[in-house]
Chain A
């Protein structure tokens, strides 16, 4: 059983729409949850992270964690063509290791 599951997509939305991404995980011991953004043929870059359950907002991005259902979400408001990328959720575990899902590919159409 994979520890982190994401629907790889692609998810196509018109510019200005709200993008909703999610992933599920199986290990109840995860406490920190990262979201990385990866442009094609580039290394991932950290978008934001949350600790335990709750919401965190950073500009147009909002991350949510529901530990009771082991469900992680990322919302992008007022999406822009520059948001077209793959979004990777990654819970953190021992020795600061990350467990990555396959990623959600997003295409924002101008």
Chain B
């Protein structure tokens, strides 16, 4: 069966520090991968999606970036965090046009 992992589960970072969140999927090949952010009082906002290794599409302009170095690994990064980057970050996967399945999420607090 398929499993999705995210780490860390919780992170507290100072403003201006770098960020690296990791997501890995097991039990499937060539999945579509997605990064979402859920800020307080707001819905899930799609940040990036990837349909293959090295193929990243950005949905909104921001100081975040994403990379997909391996088929089942998706990384979200920032060089300098802003207060507005605080939120609940969710990774999701799907097989082509099938259902999206979400990971457990990373709760990021920027102070």
Contact = CB atoms under 8 A, between A and B. Distances in A.
Interface of A: 4, 6, 8, 34, 36, 41-46, 49, 88, 90, 95-103
Given A4-B43, A102-B43, A97 B104 contact: no
A41 B107 contact: yes
B102 A98 contact: no
Contacts of A8: 41
5 contacts: A8-B41, A44-B44, A49-B99, A95-B57, A99-B46
A42 B57 CA distance: 25
Given A95-B49, A96-B94, A96-B96, A42 B44 contact: no
Contacts of B44: 44, 88, 90, 98, 100
A33 to B, nearest CB: 12
A32 B4 CA distance: 24
A96 B57 CA distance: 13
Q: How large is the interface on B (under 10, 10 to 19, 20 to 34, 35 or more residues)?
A: 20 to 34
Contact of A97 (B34, B90, B107): B34
A102 B96 CA distance: 25
A46 B99 contact: yes
B101 A46 contact: yes
A101 B46 CA distance: 12
A95 B32 contact: yes
Given A4-B43, A42-B104, A44-B90, A97 B49 contact: yes
Contact of B32 (A96, A102, A103): A96
